[in-house]
């Protein structure tokens, strides 16, 4: 069984307060983009563990044989969110069988596009459907939140206004299909912890929920990402990307999440004259 975990962008991002549990309350609009990974799961009918050359992990009563291709998956395999999703369900569904899992990465990692969170959420959904676990959407949302603050969004995967840690979601009417998105990732890794440490939380004068219903022509002045100023001071290349997008005719441009990806929203038929270093990841969505 094959699924295609997609990415997301943040349309505005306000950090409102620091919580007693160490997390932050925020508000943002999550908007899905069709830049996708590929995730395949099949039942493992082999009679024992084999060396896949990438990774294989005992999952209690079962076994996960995991492999990956495409963009390099960084970090220890033990931290892979797809495997964590399997282990999470295995605790409550011990009959979950041994599987082979392959992930082809096309969404840049650590870029603010939510690729890892999407992979985790799609793993939960795929396992639920393939093995007929009977988990309802509300319960899937609870499992997803255990894997990460952005994961629940990819269970819904529709434009939504998000608050709390990002898990409290309200569906909104927002159709940007008549525009195109130009995505630029300069390959800069920004620590989420560092980014939050630069923020002084405050309640905005105007909610993103209100701003997002206005014409896009007003977003440049009002729709802000609270992480941008600190990130730009540390990494001026982010500012240069944003300036180039506006110079090429973007109606709105912003960093997504805590960075370092920047996106520009253009008219559908636009052919922006953009030239970025070959080391940058660029994509039109």
* Structure confidence by residue, pLDDT tens digits, 223-253: 999 999 999 999 999 999 999 999 999 999 9
Q: Per-residue confidence at 139, pLDDT binned at 50, 70, 90?
A: very high
Overall pTM > 0.85: yes
- Statement to judge: residues 48 and 128 lie in one domain: yes
Tokens read off for 166: 């990002």
* Structure confidence by residue, pLDDT tens digits, 181-216: 999 999 998 888 898 899 999 999 999 999 999 999
Mean pLDDT of the chain: 90
DSSP class of residue 93 equals: -
- Statement to judge: residues 81 and 102 lie in one domain: yes
Catalytic residue flag (residue 209):
no
**pLDDT for 183:** 97
- Tell me the average pLDDT across 254-280: 93
- Statement to judge: residues 264 and 234 lie in one domain: yes
**pLDDT for 147:** 96
- What is the number of structural domains in the chain? 2
- Tell me the average pLDDT across 254-264: 94
Catalytic residue flag (residue 150):
yes
Whichever domain contains 263, its CATH number is 3.30.70.890
- Statement to judge: residues 154 and 221 lie in one domain: no
The H-assigned helical ranges of 80-201 are 81-92, 115-130, 137-147, 151-156, 192-197
Q: Per-residue confidence at 23, pLDDT binned at 50, 70, 90?
A: confident
**Residue 217 burial (CB count, 10 A):** 9
111, 136, 170: which is the final residue of a domain? Answer: 170
Q: Per-residue confidence at 22, pLDDT binned at 50, 70, 90?
A: confident
- Which of 150, 224, 226, 242 is an active site residue? 150
Supply the range of the domain harboring residue 101. Answer: 2-170
- Statement to judge: residues 21 and 156 lie in one domain: yes
Predicted confidence (pLDDT) at residue 222 exceeds the cutoff of 90: yes
Tokens read off for 37: 């990974």
**Contact of 264 with 246, CB cutoff 8 Å:** yes
Q: Per-residue confidence at 173, pLDDT binned at 50, 70, 90?
A: very high
Residue 185 burial (CB < 10 Å; 0-12/13-18/19+)? buried
Whichever domain contains 106, its CATH number is 3.30.230.10
Give the strands of the sheet with 168-171, arranged side by side. 6-18, 24-36, 160-163, 168-171
**pLDDT for 162:** 96
What CA–CA distance (Å, rounded) separates 113 from 8?
Answer: 5
- Statement to judge: residues 89 and 221 lie in one domain: no
DSSP string for 72-88: ---S-GGG-HHHHHHHH
**pLDDT for 133:** 97
Residue 207 burial (CB < 10 Å; 0-12/13-18/19+)? middle
**pLDDT for 46:** 58
**Helix (H), strand (E) at residue 103:** strand 99-105
pLDDT > 90: percent of the chain: 76
Predicted confidence (pLDDT) at residue 266 exceeds the cutoff of 90: yes
């Amino acid at each position: 069984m094959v699924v295609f975990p997609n990415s997301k962008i943040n349309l505005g991002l306000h950090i409102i307060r620091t919580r007693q549990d160490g997390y932050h309350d925020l508000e943002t609009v999550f908007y899905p983009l069709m830049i996708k990974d590929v995730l395949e799961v099949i039942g493992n009918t082999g009679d024992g563990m084999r060396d896949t050359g990438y990774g294989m992990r005992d999952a209690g009563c079962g076994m996960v044989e995991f492999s990956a291709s495409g963009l390099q998956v960084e970090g220890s395999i033990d931290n892979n969110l797809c495997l964590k999703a399997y282990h999470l369900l295995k605790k409550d569904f011990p009959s979950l069988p041994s599987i082979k899992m392959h992930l082809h990465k096309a969404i840049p990692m650590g870029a603010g596009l939510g690729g890892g969170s999407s992979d985790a959420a799609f793993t939960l959904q795929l396992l639920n459907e393939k093995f007929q676990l009977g988990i309802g959407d509300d319960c899937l949302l609870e499992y997803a939140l255990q894997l990460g603050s952005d994961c629940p969004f990819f269970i819904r995967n529709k434009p939504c206004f998000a608050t709390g840690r990002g898990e409290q979601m309200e569906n909104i009417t927002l159709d940007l299909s008549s525009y195109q998105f130009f995505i630029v990732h300069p390959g800069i890794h920004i620590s989420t912890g560092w980014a939050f440490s630069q923020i002084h939380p405050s309640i905005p004068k105007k909610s993103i929920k209100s701003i997002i219903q206005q014409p896009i022509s007003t977003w440049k002045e009002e729709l802000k990402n609270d992480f941008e100023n600190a990130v730009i001071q540390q990494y001026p290349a982010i500012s240069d990307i944003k300036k180039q997008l506006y110079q090429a005719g973007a109606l709105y441009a912003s960093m997504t999440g805590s960075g370092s990806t920047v996106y520009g929203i253009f008219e559908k038929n636009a052919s922006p004259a953009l030239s970025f270093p070959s080391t940058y990841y660029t994509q039109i969505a």
